Amino acid sequence: MSFTQLDPPLPVHVEGKGKGYALAVIDYGQEHNLIWVTGLTDSGEIWCAPNPLVRMEANWTMGRKGFPHALPPGAKPS
C-alpha cells in the first residue's frame, strides 16, 4: 500500500459528488482501483473516490476540453 500526497492538488470531478481537488492518491496494489482523496468544492467534504469515478477538469491551456459528465446541464464542451 502506498499513499502519495499531491502537491499541488489536482482539480477533478467526482461522478455523483461534483468538483473538487484531489489531495492524495492511495494505491492498495494490483487487485484494487486507485483511491483519490478529494476535497469537494461545494460542500467541503472529503471523499475517497475509486479511480473509475474520478475525471480531470477541463484545462484550456493543455487543450483538454470539458467532459460531458463534468459540465452543468445543457452546457457543451468548449
Is 41:21 a contact under the CB 8 Å cutoff? yes
**pLDDT computed for residue 65 by the predictor:** 72
- pTM, full prediction: 0.78
pLDDT tens per residue, range 64-78: 776 665 555 565 655
pLDDT tens per residue, range 12-60: 999 999 999 999 999 999 999 999 999 999 999 999 999 999 998 877 7
Cα–Cα distances (Å) from 23 to 11, 16, 59, 76, in that order, read 9, 18, 18, 28
